[in-house]
Amino acid sequence: MKIRSFRRTLFLSCILPCLGLSAACTGQSISLDATATPFPPSATLPPSRTATPTASFTSTITPYPTLTASPTPLPTATPPAKAAIKNIQGTYQTYALGCEANAAAQMARFFGLSINEREFQAVLPLSDNPDVGFVGPVEGDWGNIPPAAYGVHAEPVAAELRNFGLNAIPHRQYTVEKIRQEIAAGRPVMVWVIGGVRQGRTMTYTAEDGSVITVAPYEHTVLVTGYGPDYFTILDGKEVYHRSIAQFTDSWGVLDNMAVTMGVPHFLPEPKT
C-alpha cells in the first residue's frame, strides 16, 4: 500500500507541472500498476482532428425546361418536281351551269363515294348569294353574275360533300404550293376559275341579305390533277389539258383562289346514335 501511495504522489507531482510531458514525467510508472485507475492523460491526447469538409449534396434541383403551349410545327415535305393522279375519271357536264356539281361528283367518286352530277345538284341549297347556295336556274345561260343564273361557290359545295360523309374543306386564298402538296399526296383539288382557265374580271354583288360578294362572269369549276415545273394539269368535265402556272394563277385569282380539298381521313366518322 505504501508503494501504491508513493506512486500516485509521484505521478501527480509530475503531471501537474509538466503538461509538456518531459522525459522525467512520462507517466511510465502507471504501466507498473495494472489495477490503478489512471487519470485521463489530457496532455497526451493527440491533436483534435478537424473534420475534413466533405462534398455535401444540396437539395437544389435543376428544373426541366418549361414546355411551351405551341410546339414547333414539323417541317412540310417539299413536293417532287412533277406529280400526277392517274386513276381519276372525268365525265361530261350534264347541266349548262352544273360544273360545280360535276366536279364535286368526280371528286367524291375518286374517294370512293358513288354519286353523280344530278344527285349532287339536287341537294345544293338555293340562294341569291353564291356563298350560301346555288344561284340558278341550273339550265340558265352561262356568263352572268347574280342575281341572274350563276352557280355556287366553295363553302356550300364543301358543306354538301360533308353531308355525304366526305371530309371536304373549303378554302379562300389557297396557294400554288399547297395545291402541289395535295397532288403529290394523291388528292385532286377542286378550284374556281374562269371558263377554260382564262383571264377574267372580278366584280362585286350585293345580295338581298346585305352581303357584298366577289363574283365573276363565266365562273367555272375544274379539278387540278397534276403538275410539272411550269404547268398544272386540268380535268375539265371529261377534257384534260395543261395550263401554265401564270395562266392558272391569273384565272384562279379572279375569285380569290377558292378551292375545296379532301381532309385526312377522307371520310367523316359515323354519327353516334
Whether the per-residue pLDDT at 194 is higher than 80: the answer is: yes
Whether the per-residue pLDDT at 78 is higher than 90: the answer is: no
Span of 26-30, 88-92, 100-104, 269-273 with lowest mean pLDDT: 26-30
Span of 23-37, 223-237, 238-252 with lowest mean pLDDT: 23-37
Side-chain half-sphere of 178: how many Cα atoms within 13 Å? 15
257 domain residue, yes or no: yes
Span of 9-23, 102-116, 234-248 with lowest mean pLDDT: 9-23
3-state class (DSSP) for residue 135? strand
pLDDT of residue 217: 98
pLDDT of residue 22: 39
Share of the chain above pLDDT 70, in %: 71
- pLDDT band at residue 102 under the 50/70/90 scheme: very high
Dihedral of CA atoms 17, 23, 29, 34 in degrees, nearest 10, equals: 100
67 domain residue, yes or no: no
Strands 239-244 and 203-206, by their bridges, are: unpaired
Q: Based on the structure, what is the number of domains in the chain?
A: 1
108 domain residue, yes or no: yes
Give every CB contact of residue 205 below 8 A, 6+ residues apart in sequence: 145, 146, 147, 212, 213, 215
pLDDT of residue 273: 55
Range of the domain at 257: 83-267
| CA angle (261 as vertex; 189, 79 as ends), nearest 5 | 65
Grid cell in block for residue 168? 371536304
3-state class (DSSP) for residue 188? coil
- pLDDT band at residue 271 under the 50/70/90 scheme: low
CA distances for 210 relative to 124, 161, 207, 250, angstroms: 21, 27, 5, 29
40 domain residue, yes or no: no
- DSSP per-residue codes, 167-217: EEEEESS--HHHHHHHHHTT--EEEEEEGGG-----EEEE-TTS-EEEE-T
Whether the per-residue pLDDT at 12 is higher than 90: the answer is: no
pLDDT of residue 259: 98
- pLDDT band at residue 268 under the 50/70/90 scheme: confident
Gap between the Cα atoms of 221 and 107, Å rounded: 12
Gap between the Cα atoms of 171 and 273, Å rounded: 31
pLDDT of residue 272: 60
Gap between the Cα atoms of 185 and 102, Å rounded: 23
24 domain residue, yes or no: no
Q: What is the DSSP secondary structure assignment for residue 77, as one 8-state letter? A: P
Grid cell in block for residue 185? 399526296
Span of 19-23, 81-85, 138-142 with lowest mean pLDDT: 19-23
Gap between the Cα atoms of 96 and 98, Å rounded: 6
| Residue 68 burial (CB count, 10 A) | 7
pLDDT of residue 8: 45
Q: Give the H/E segment covering residue 260.
A: strand 259-267
Whether the per-residue pLDDT at 35 is higher than 80: the answer is: no
50 domain residue, yes or no: no
- pLDDT band at residue 15 under the 50/70/90 scheme: very low
Whether the per-residue pLDDT at 213 is higher than 90: the answer is: yes
pLDDT of residue 128: 98
The domain spanning residue 180 has which CATH number?
3.90.70.10
183 domain residue, yes or no: yes
Grid cell in block for residue 36? 490503478
65 domain residue, yes or no: no
